[in-house]
Structure 1
Amino acid sequence: MIDDIGRMVRTESPSSDLAAVARSAKTVAALGAAYLGHPPDILTIGDRTHLRWRLGSGPRRVLLLGHHDTVWPLGSLATRPFTVRDGILRGPGCYDMKAGLALGFHALAALADLDGVTYLVTGDEEIGSPTSRELIEAEAAGCAAALVLEASAGEGALKTERKAVSLYEIRVVGRAAHAGLEPRRGVNAGVEAAHQILAVAALADPDAGTTVTPTALSAGTTTNTVPAQGGFALDVRARDAAEQARVDSALRALRPVLDGAHVHVTGGPNRPPLPKSSSAALYRRAQRLARRLGTGPLTAAAVGGASDGNFTAGVGIPTLDGLGAVGGGAHADDEHVRVARLPERAALLAALVGDLLAARPERHEGARATGRSPR
């Protein structure tokens, strides 16, 4: 597994670089073909590369879900090389989530019967899955479970609840004027943006777990001109769809404070919530299997970050997230994976997939086993 993770980490794959994502897809495809017995379907949507293995000939039962794009720009390996020292594996994208992809390959290779399993690896999760959302939802349809190979929460906790995500751009239009000669003739887009930032920040509800966070901000063109243009990005997280809708309605109703200013709101809900009810039965199943394997007890965590598991939960498919690597530092300089925990995570994943397949109501005549022995 260490060698496989290293091979993927060394193939850098920032979401914004389509050529890099395509190169990464080739690396992941080759690894997966070696473990699963055949190459994936290579799906190019909007010039972005996704991979899909459909195993066996029976109806789809279990969806394994991961992504091979990362937040790290090309060249990050120069300052953050792939290393394994004192039981800690490091490298850009190792924890989020190339170690999870390797776990998926090794877990599936340990099973003799994979009929009904789909393994989908997308290439745009880190930017909100704009080209893969419909693909994810289509592959999840009819499945008994979606198992998401994103990294675990602290100390290996499975992610049983994720918040909904909405993303907005708030654009403000004012009127330019000379800042020294006649500032009063202008309408200051920067000041209007400040009013709007205070208004939207007040929409947060800490008791309900709703966060409304203004992020990237800009206004103006030169130091001696009243800004005619400005705006900011807005990140909204909510535990349930009702809160997500409340904030969305309030943002659509924003009105300018300054005479002559205009406010334009674009964007909206990006991911639905992954509620605890979607993961509860799968989490109980995983707990039982972990006890049987001697690696329990498991723990659970509710997190503010989103994943493609939000989409599968949103279309009504039972979803369990955080089944990937144990470590920390996602998107940060200290990103790392704890090597000693890799075998137990692979064993849990294999047991969970096998248990779900064994529970299917019937076996279809002529279904083929496609698993291979692990290396």
Structure 2
Amino acid sequence: MTAIAAALEAGLPVLLADIEALVRVESPSEDLAAVADCARIVAGLGTRLTGAAPEWLDGSGRPALRWRFGSGDRVLLLGHFDTVWPVGSLAGHPFEVAGGRLTGPGCFDMKAGVAQLFHALSVLDDLDGVSVLLTGDEEIGSPTSRTLIEEEARRTRAVLVLEASEGGALKTARKGVSGYELNIGGRAAHAGLEPHRGVNTTTELAHQVLALSTLADPATGTTVTPTVASSGTTRNTVPDAARLLVDVRVETAAEQDRVDRAVRGLAPVLAGATVKLSGGPDRPPLQTSASAQLFELARKHYAELGFGALRGVAVGGGSDGNLTAGAGTPTLDGLGAVGGGAHADDEHVLVAELPRRAALVAALAASLVREPPAAPGGVRS
């Protein structure tokens, strides 16, 4: 075990206390006051462990926190402190450490990762070249922080994302995400007396669902999934309005563009019906070309730390790592807590893995400050 790993192992009780402090300040994305309260705890934690106070960056009342050490242009450590859990969730899911597992709302996604990040930096002698960006809106698609994340990524040479990891595998690829809303208009009529005078939006909705289903391509990993649908008011009325939400996941930018063009080309089937579309691509894919160099470096350090072999995995869920990869910066994701149950009743973190992952982040940050990688394909966007 290296000196870094030994120091972080010895500091596990403090790390656990810091995670507890974060988990106990509930921070659902939509509750701006709660998010701001959590940001203050995060700022204090980062200041204590790095010796530097953050910049407070306000996005429509939703704070983001940024630290830049020296040039801050070699490696960016990225994460978020908002969660999907509403205020009051602690009552039914209290913070607890038992049987080698840590539990509590938001512990896995991703408050443990935030604490690990700062503990990793605390054992490094020189932070010159390191930046940290923590946001409060990732769980709702990063609407206010997206531009900030992309700009910060473009000024740095590598990004390490402290999102959580199921099974310990790093996320070497993430699918791109698109989301659409179709609002369908028709004409109401009495379903018994004169249904022929109506334009039935439930029928039109069905036509649109069938058309969307043809856009999926299992061979390329592209999924097009109608999710939420609604139409009509009463059983005996031809409905005149319908709404459909659609989730799209793709492995490549070309597939994201193909599906987007096709969705925008949808036309009503029934005479007199209208289809209005909103939405579009939300997060570009994080492709393996963006993570390959960093993953090999992580495997090397993981073995040198005495932790054995490290796995990589491609996943369907998106994160802010999609945005940094889309900005043209090498990105490695899934460096946070090891555990499972994100967004679910069994959300948990494996305690034994906490100092090990922090040690890996510390080793990667130190290495990248010395020798940052080239951009994917050798070209910066």
Return the letter of the residue paired with 1:341.
E
Superposed counterparts of 1:223-234, under 5 Å:
223-234=235-246
Q: Counterpart of 1:364?
A: none
Match of 1:5 in 2: 19
1:123 counterpart = 2:148: no
Q: Letter of the aligned partner of 1:238 in structure 2?
A: V
What does 1:52-201 align with in structure 2 at a 5 Å threshold?
52-56=66-70, 58-152=71-165, 154-201=166-213
Q: Which amino acid aligns with 1:336?
A: H
1:32 corresponding residue in structure 2: 46
Listed one character per residue, the Cα deviations across residues 306-353 of structure 1 (whole Å, up to 9, x for unaligned) are: 110111111110100000010001111111100011010010110000
SS for the counterpart of 1:332 is coil
Cα deviation per residue 1:245-271 (whole Å; 9 max; x = unaligned)?
Answer: 111011011111111111111110001
Aligned to 1:353: 365
Q: Which residue of the partner structure matches residue 216 of structure 1?
A: 228
Deviation at 1:142, TM superposition (A): 3.0
Deviates more, 1:282-291 or 1:216-225: 216-225
Distance 1:182 1:18 in 2: 50
**Which residue matches 1:367?**
none
Over residues 92-146 of structure 1, what are the superposed CA-to-partner deviations in whole Å (9 max), with x where a residue is unaligned? 1111111110110100011010011111001111111111111011111231210
**Please, what TM-score do these two structures have when normalized by structure 1?**
0.93
Preserved CA contact (<8 Å) 2:75 2:372: no
Q: Where in structure 2 are there 5+ consecutive unaligned residues?
A: 1-14, 374-381
Could you tell me how far apart the structure 1 residues matched to 2:239 and 2:91 are? 40
Residue identity over aligned pairs, in percent, reads: 62
Is 1:316 aligned with 2:358?
no
Specify the code of the residue in structure 2 equivalent to 1:115: D
Pair 1:305-2:317 in alignment? yes
Contact 2:341–2:348 (CA under 8 A) maintained in structure 1: yes
Query: What is the root-mean-square deviation in Å for CA atoms of aligned residues?
Result: 1.3
Distance 2:92 2:230 in 1: 30
CA shift at 1:68, angstroms? Answer: 0.7
Amino acid of the structure 2 residue aligned with 1:4? D
Paired letter, 1:213: T
**What is the DSSP-based 3-state SS (H/G/I as helix, E as strand, rest coil) of the residue aligned with 1:156?**
coil
Q: Alignment partner of 1:312: what SS?
A: helix
Does 1:268 find its partner at 2:288?
no
Long gaps (5+) in structure 1:
362-375
Find the aligned partners of 1:48 and 1:276 in 2 and give their Cα distance. 32
**Structure 1 letter corresponding to 2:102:** L
SS in 1 for 2:262: helix
Count of paired positions: 359
Pairs within 5 Å for 1:236-275: 236-275=248-287
- Equivalent position amino acid for 1:51 in 2: L
Match of 1:17 in 2: 31
Query: Contact 2:108–2:348 (CA<8 Å) still a contact in 1?
Result: yes
